[in-house]
Amino acid sequence: MALGGPPSAVRRSPVPPVILAVLLALLVLLIASGAALALLHLEPNLPFYVLSKLHVLLGILFVPLGVWYLAAHTLRIGAPWTFLPWLVVWVVVFFCLFFIEVPFQAATIIGILLGGVLAAWLWWRSRRGYAWQSYATAVGVMLALGGVIDTGYVMAAGWTSMRTTFYHWTHLALTPAVPLLMWAHARARRRRTPSSAAYRLPRVWYATVAGLLVVQAGWVAYQTRSLARAVPQDLSYRTMPQASVHIAKEQVTLVGSLDPELFQASRSCAQAECHVGPYRQWHGSAHRFASQTVAYLRASEAFVARRGRDAEMFCATCHNPLAVASGAYARQDWSAVKAYARDGVSCEGCHFRAPPLPQYGRFSANFRIERDTPFPWVPDRADLDDLRRGYLNQDAYFHRRKYFHEYMHSSEMCGACHGEHHVDVAGNDVVMFDELLGWQRSELEKRGVTCQKCHNNLDAYPHLEEKSMHARPDHVFPGIALDLPEAIPNDFSPDEPFLAEDLRETADFLRLFLDGDHKVSDWERNYLHLIRDTRINAFEDYVEHRKVLDMSATIKPAGDGAVVLTVTSTNHKVGHDFPSGPPDLSQYWLEVLVQVPQGEWHTVIGCDPITGAIDPRAPRLGGSVFDTDGNELSEHAIDRVARVELSTIGFERALVHEIVLRSEEAPAGAKVRAQWRYRRYKPAFSRWAWRDEMKVFPSHRLATVELQVPGPLVAAQ
């Protein structure tokens, strides 16, 4: 029988009106439960969880009934039975796209295209103009299905992302559209075909539908009972715990504190395959070891010896924030302080931060815990994993609100720690470094570039990306924190899984970041541009193909056969003053190498590989700190700093250095290479901190330029 044959050839097989009534009843329940969820979004509670579970189950039940309804009526208006296999293939393919972890956006788009191709093919073969109503309804149901499937991930995405815009609003817009299309389809059925023919579904169909309803009702009741029994009463707090840490003139004041029982270990964020990628990135990062490097342990130990144990809270405010916010220092609970120090700047050390109170100003840390999901997030309760996962897969709104808010997008949050100000004995403000002020001078804020746009940019470990989510911000927070494995104690948690691998991957990524070789796939690049995520703009403008400094050089002859090497170093990558960080710790110097024709490269101006001593002629970046007597401090004694000498390059600024090379050092025709080098710790500090007279950290190349010494003829011209 040809598709869309004459009415006399149409098989009279009307679907019992009860099926349409069931579908409409499901739609009414879906709309009602959806509206109730919108109201309950204001606060997490047990009814929200139960209702969200019911809402999703109703939607899942609506899908097979809706597909069957469409298939039956499509057959009734003249389509052959051969249409059904194509419909089944389309539904199976659509589901398989999600099961094989095709990204959600791509899976839905592919599903739409496949459904559209199927509808277009059937419409093309049909000789009746009313066929579009059936297939438009099919597309509508498919889109609604996409919204139902992706509900949880929608709420976990940012409100500016395409996932949220597409899925969320399509899901809402189809709420009135689907019943309208069903009504149009039923109206076309009554007009185009007789309605008196008798056709009954087998009884097994009704039994199956009734069984599904009973099973789903039982499942909701079971989940409700399990949830009600599992919620610990001590976690059902009514207020938002808050702790404000205020630093003024090196005095730390803690107002309030956070109950340690409300904290979770960072490893719990990676449980149940949730945030495995971000956790692994943090696990091997400098933030994780902020209070566990040998340098920090030795400097804080000396600081405590001079000022007392309680004074360490000044350092810990940034290096070990949860130990301060939990009141461990205030209670003098040193075992708790040590336990928190294992995670340094942990997940909640940042994700619990809120805007500082106005009276405390910039150098304060305000920690606040929002109300959590209505089921227990307690450690070491594997029996609750299914509840956690089930809830997040339905709606992660409350979980997201607790751990991710607008303040986390701001440079001011980073600047609360990444700026070291002190007060000397005369009460003067001594600035060792201040990355926030450097960023503010750069005027990058006008271009929409914050600290996070570059330092929290794109996933450093793409192979750890969970659930095929796009544009996951990396949690390495790259900078020039090279040699991290060498900076931590040798006996630090040797049994931690993946630690060596994560440290190695961090080191590899930092090198790529510094050299501008970090790659982003074309798919991800196009996606980020499509959703207007400015991180990709920051990546393309300031990270990709950019070394730390752009270098250019010229050589001009001087007297007695010598030449003057002029090196211009420009900062087009670092959005604040370069270098940053405590100037008494790291070293930056300009190294000069020469290669005579057919010879090897040899260092003319550099450093001694044994002692680490740098040639006095080498230009320097960074700086030194001095005490009140004018003596240079090399032990990071921050409470004794009275004066700071700095040499930095601001964003989009240049610095020029001139070096005179003697004729025997750079003969005519020789090649000259100038390169900036970096060492994590100065030799004097590393020998003191590691208690090793031979301890010298390796040096690393940051930027390079090469040119040739002109010959006599060129010089004469």
Least confident of 156-170, 288-302, 566-580: 156-170
Residues 343 and 263: their CA atoms lie apart, in Å, by: 12
Which secondary structure element, helix H or strand E, spans residue 182, and what is its range?
helix 169-192
C-alpha gyration radius of the chain = 33
Q: 419 has which bridge partners?
A: 434
Contacts of 257 (CB under 8 A, 6+ apart): 241, 243, 325, 326, 327, 330
| Percent of the chain at pLDDT exceeding 70 | 65
What does the block give as tokens for 328? 């461990």
Secondary structure (H, E, C), 516-585: CCCCCCHHHHHHHHHCCCHHHHHHHHHHCCCCCCEEEEEEEECHHHCEEEEEEEECCCCCCCECCCCCCC
Compute the average pLDDT of residues 630-659. 93
| Percent of the chain at pLDDT exceeding 90 | 40
Query: Which of 197-201, 397-401, 510-514 is most confident?
Result: 510-514
Q: Which three-class secondary structure state does DSSP give residue 70?
A: helix
Compute the average pLDDT of residues 617-630. 93
What does the block give as tokens for 68? 């069957």
Burial label, 70 (beta-carbon count in 10 A; 0-12, 13-18, 19+): buried
pLDDT, greater one: 481 or 572? 572
Over 80: is that where the pLDDT of 341 sits?
A: yes
At 199 the pLDDT is: 36
Contacts of 591 (CB under 8 A, 6+ apart): 603, 605, 606, 607, 618, 674, 675, 676, 677
Residues 372 and 676: their CA atoms lie apart, in Å, by: 49
Which secondary structure element, helix H or strand E, spans residue 673, and what is its range?
strand 671-679
Residues 528 and 535: their CA atoms lie apart, in Å, by: 8
In contact, 241 and 369? CB cutoff 8 Å: yes
Question: Reading across the β-sheet that carries 563-570, which strands appear in turn?
Answer: 550-557, 563-570, 654-661
Residues 413 and 355: their CA atoms lie apart, in Å, by: 8
Which secondary structure element, helix H or strand E, spans residue 602, and what is its range?
strand 602-605
Q: Which alpha helices (DSSP H) does 77-130 contain, by range? A: 83-99, 104-125
Kindly report the average pLDDT of the chain as a whole number. 77
Over 50: is that where the pLDDT of 162 sits?
A: no
At 363 the pLDDT is: 87
pLDDT digits (tens, 9 = 90+) for 503-536: 999 999 999 999 999 888 787 788 788 767 888 9
Smallest CA-to-CA distance from 396 within 239, 272, 247 is with 272
At 607 the pLDDT is: 94
Over 60: is that where the pLDDT of 198 sits?
A: no
| Residue 481 pLDDT class (50, 70, 90 cuts) | confident
Residue written as token pair 């579908």: 23
Over 50: is that where the pLDDT of 3 sits?
A: no
Residues 38 and 650: their CA atoms lie apart, in Å, by: 48
Over 70: is that where the pLDDT of 328 sits?
A: yes
Over 80: is that where the pLDDT of 493 sits?
A: no
State the span(s) of the chain assigned CATH 2.60.40.10: 550-716
| Residue 376 pLDDT class (50, 70, 90 cuts) | very low
| Residue 41 pLDDT class (50, 70, 90 cuts) | low
Q: Which three-class secondary structure state does DSSP give residue 617?
A: coil
At 533 the pLDDT is: 81
Q: Give the DSSP letter of residue 301.
A: H
Smallest CA-to-CA distance from 156 within 400, 391, 369 is with 400
At 87 the pLDDT is: 61
Q: Give the DSSP letter of residue 164.
A: I
At 579 the pLDDT is: 95
At 149 the pLDDT is: 44
| Residue 301 pLDDT class (50, 70, 90 cuts) | very high
Dihedral sign for Cα 653, 506, 344, 535, please: positive
In this structure, the number of other CB atoms found within 10 A of the CB of residue 701 comes to 15
Least confident of 27-36, 164-173, 338-347, 638-647: 164-173
In contact, 391 and 376? CB cutoff 8 Å: no
At 93 the pLDDT is: 72
Q: Which amino acid is residue 453, in one-letter code?
A: K
At 588 the pLDDT is: 97
Residues 135 and 125: their CA atoms lie apart, in Å, by: 13
Contacts of 596 (CB under 8 A, 6+ apart): 667, 669, 670
Q: 552 has which bridge partners?
A: 568
First to last CA, the chain: 94
Smallest CA-to-CA distance from 441 within 649, 605, 278, 669 is with 649
Over 50: is that where the pLDDT of 47 sits?
A: yes
pLDDT, greater one: 546 or 12? 546
pLDDT digits (tens, 9 = 90+) for 263-273: 878 888 887 66
Query: Which of 60-69, 100-109, 229-238, 674-683 is most confident?
Result: 674-683
Residue written as token pair 């659930």: 467
Q: Give the DSSP letter of residue 195.
A: S
Residue written as token pair 């791509």: 106
At 345 the pLDDT is: 96
| Residue 322 pLDDT class (50, 70, 90 cuts) | very high
Q: Which three-class secondary structure state does DSSP give residue 246?
A: strand
Residues 532 and 554: their CA atoms lie apart, in Å, by: 41
At 113 the pLDDT is: 62
At 450 the pLDDT is: 94
Q: 658 has which bridge partners?
A: 566
Q: For 550-716, which CATH class?
A: mainly beta
Over 80: is that where the pLDDT of 230 sits?
A: no
Residues 628 and 577: their CA atoms lie apart, in Å, by: 26
pLDDT digits (tens, 9 = 90+) for 679-712: 999 999 999 999 999 999 999 999 999 999 987 6
In contact, 279 and 499? CB cutoff 8 Å: no
pLDDT digits (tens, 9 = 90+) for 99-149: 565 655 566 566 656 665 665 565 565 544 444 444 444 545 554 554 444
Planar angle of CA 409, 410, 414, nearest 5 degrees: 110
In contact, 466 and 275? CB cutoff 8 Å: yes
pLDDT digits (tens, 9 = 90+) for 459-478: 788 777 654 556 678 899 99
Q: Residue 92: CA atoms inside 13 Å, Cβ hemisphere, count? A: 6
Over 70: is that where the pLDDT of 169 sits?
A: no
Contacts of 452 (CB under 8 A, 6+ apart): 408, 409, 411, 414, 473
pLDDT digits (tens, 9 = 90+) for 409-425: 899 999 999 988 888 77
